[in-house]
Amino acid sequence: MKAFIFTLISVFTSLTYANTINIIEDGIKVIKGGKNLSKVDDINLITKAGKLSKITIKSLTLTKIENLQNLMALAVKENRVGFVKQFKYIQKYKSMKEGDKILLKCLNDSNCNLAKYTDLISKSPLHRQFAMKYSNMSLTQINHKIGTLNENIMNKYFQSTGWTKLEGEVGRNGIDGLFVKRKNGIIIDVLIVESKYNKSGLQYTKNGQQMTKQWLTKKIKDLKKKYPNDKNYEAIEKHIDNDNYRGLLWNLKIKDDNIIISLKKVNDKNNKIITSNLKGREKIKINYNGNQEININNPQSEFHKKLISWYKGELNKY
């Protein structure tokens, strides 16, 4: 009898601190402050599993808050998180769509650092997707994957509109998008595009700000050294020297299942980049009304479908 009373006290203490709706402890199910007691059933598959490593998505059969509370209870038990900190995580993941499933991705992996994981998934929807796939990746590694995904979508877009892409990278540094158009084999038009994701902007380097003429000149010289037999870079260098090229800034964001893309014109003003909107005949298809924000689940045109397929194709590579 004393053991039974002690168990009930433990349950009510947990309710006080965790504001728990359903807690299963020692074969007793407490509902709404203990007004209704019943035997444990098979609904709470998290507690039944007993270990975080054994829990699957199918185990999340209760409400999101209940799942989170039960997951955190096991995380405390397995020393994955401190007793007090669990409540911070419960509130954090409670505010996310499918937060219990997102949390489970980390807790399933004993090597996943919950603090770093939580920071990563909070940065952007794409960070969240990559962190869920690769729970042990660092921010730098995930940023690199996102950068590659963004560049590949950008490349597909410009190539689909008649531009030929040339290699612009030297190692991991260089020009994201280097495109040309030819007439009778001669380069007549040069387009240089820098791609950025979310709130990232053009960076300052030891060779000047990205996309300035000083920076571009250095990058083309590096490419000439890397590909000494490729005459394309000599031709591009002449176009840049004569200010006969176009520069654009491509920015991609993912928000609420929408792909948001903006294109800005860039101009070098005293070794500092000034951005401006494309107007009139300068506009490219992505700038047209209705094309700058594309709902992934509800495409409005064939162009939307094409861009969504590029996006999903890049995601599926990883």
pLDDT at 18: 42
In this prediction, residues 35-53 reach a mean pLDDT of 64
pLDDT at 28: 34
User: Which of residues 300 and 26 earns the better pLDDT score?
Assistant: 300
In this prediction, residues 69-79 reach a mean pLDDT of 95
Nearest to residue 195, comparing CAs of 210, 205, 182, 185?
A: 210
Nearest to residue 283, comparing CAs of 144, 136, 161?
A: 161
Beta-bridge partner residues of 183: 186
In this prediction, residues 167-176 reach a mean pLDDT of 80
For the structural domain made of 142-316, what CATH number should be given? 3.40.1350.10
Q: What percent of the chain has pLDDT over 70?
A: 86
For the chain, give every domain's residue range: 142-316
In order of 9, 30, 85, 229, the CA distances from 72 in angstroms are 20, 18, 9, 60
In this prediction, residues 270-297 reach a mean pLDDT of 90
Of 5-19, 108-122, 214-228, 287-301, where does mean pLDDT reach its minimum?
5-19
Per-residue pLDDT at 38 exceeds 50? no
pLDDT in tens, 195-206: 999 989 999 999
76 C-beta neighbours (distance < 10 Å), count: 15
